[in-house]
């Protein structure tokens, strides 16, 4: 078993997502890989996930693979039917709307709780992640997409990290990544048409001022904008296919 340096690893983690828990086990490793490849769209929606093929692709045995796929199925990234193996969960405009609405509800609730309970450590995290995000947003985004993605996630996570509900954060994590799946389709269109940094700045200011009302409003608008543009791109792609 050749694996990177070991580290803590629990389900429903409350730690920052950038703390990229180095996997202790083959299952954990391939779980992370598969999840990431699904989110990145490298494994295309509704395509079949054949064990033998994946075995060669990720250099792991069948057992850890099946375990990882089982987990992913409960996360909603993979669907499994009777004796017909696994496949990547399909995507659709309807599902995007579904994910978006629920994510808004959960994120706003988490944000509110976080603003009410966050202490000095929370403030520090918000300031630090905002600073790092700002740095990369001054550069050419198109050349630093991966870094921006990471820091964007870190910032949003820091904002809600003081939320007291473990379950809320757990579900939020799933929906955030589901949403990311769609957003990746339209990332370029998204970043081109907006002043994302300005949106972040406003959320940041409201959060530190503990202005729940404003922070929630700005966050909701922020998410809806992304989802809206993604929805457009998705429909354009659908039209191209039929035409």
Q: Should residue 2 be labelled a site residue for a copy of itself when binding is judged by CB under 8 A?
A: no
> Applying CB under 7 A, does 118 fall inside the site for DNA?
no
Spatial CB neighbours of 22, under 8 Å, sequence gap ≥ 6:
3, 4, 5, 6, 7, 9
# residues contacting a copy of itself (CB under 8 A): 40
Binder of residue 102, out of a copy of itself, DNA, none (CB less than 5 to 8 A by kind): a copy of itself
Number of amino acids touching DNA (CB under 7 A): 24
Cβ burial of 2 (10 Å; 0-12, 13-18, 19+) is exposed
In the bound state with DNA, the residue whose beta carbon lies nearer, of 71 and 194, is: 71
Q: Of the listed pieces 56-64, 98-106, 183-191, 227-235, which binds DNA according to CB under 7 A?
A: 56-64
CB of 206 within 8 A of CB of 218? yes
Residues 68, 30: Cα–Cα separation, whole Å: 7
The first and second tokens of residue 64, run together, are 């850890």
Contact 234, 185 (CB under 8 A): yes
Binding track, positions 167-186, relative to a copy of itself; x by CB under 8 A: xx-xx---x-----------
Q: Are 51 and 65 in contact (CB under 8 A)?
A: yes
Distances (CA, A) of 92 to 78, 87, 238: 14, 15, 10
What residue ranges in the chain does DSSP mark as E strands? Answer: 48-49, 78-80, 86-88
Binding mask 14-53 for DNA (x = CB under 7 A): ----------xxxx-x------------------xxxxx-
48 to 87, contacts with a copy of itself by CB under 8 A? 63, 66-68, 70-76, 79-83
Interacting residue ranges for a copy of itself, rule: CB under 8 A: 6, 9-12, 24-25, 27-28, 63, 66-68, 70-76, 79-83, 95, 98-99, 101-102, 105, 109, 164-168, 170-171, 175
Interacting residue ranges for DNA, rule: CB under 7 A: 1, 24-27, 29, 48-52, 60-64, 66-67, 80, 82-86
């Amino acid at each position: 078993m050749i694996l990177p340096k070991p580290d803590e690893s629990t389900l429903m983690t409350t730690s920052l997502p950038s703390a990229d828990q180095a996997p202790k086990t083959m299952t954990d490793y391939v779980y992370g890989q598969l999840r990431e490849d699904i989110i990145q769209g490298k494994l295309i929606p509704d395509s079949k996930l054949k064990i033998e093929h994946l075995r060669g692709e990720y250099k792991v045995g069948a057992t850890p693979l099946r375990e990882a796929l089982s987990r992913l199925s409960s996360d909603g990234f993979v669907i499994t039917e009777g004796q017909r193996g696994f496949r990547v969960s399909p995507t659709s405009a309807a599902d995007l709307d579904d994910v978006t609405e629920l994510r808004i509800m959960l994120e706003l609730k988490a944000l509110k709780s976080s603003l009410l309970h966050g202490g000095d450590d929370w403030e520090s995290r918000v300031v630090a992640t905002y600073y790092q995000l700002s740095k990369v947003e001054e550069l050419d985004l198109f050349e630093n997409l991966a870094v921006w993605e990471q820091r964007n996630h870190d910032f949003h996570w820091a904002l809600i990290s003081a939320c007291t509900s473990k379950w809320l954060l757990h579900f939020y994590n799933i929906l955030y990544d589901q949403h990311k799946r769609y957003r990746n389709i339209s990332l370029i269109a998204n970043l081109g048409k907006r002043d994302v940094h300005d949106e972040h700045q406003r959320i940041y200011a409201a959060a530190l001022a503990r202005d729940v009302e404003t922070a929630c409003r700005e966050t909701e608008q922020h998410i809806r904008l992304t989802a809206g543009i993604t929805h457009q791109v998705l429909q354009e792609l659908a039209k191209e296919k039929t035409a």
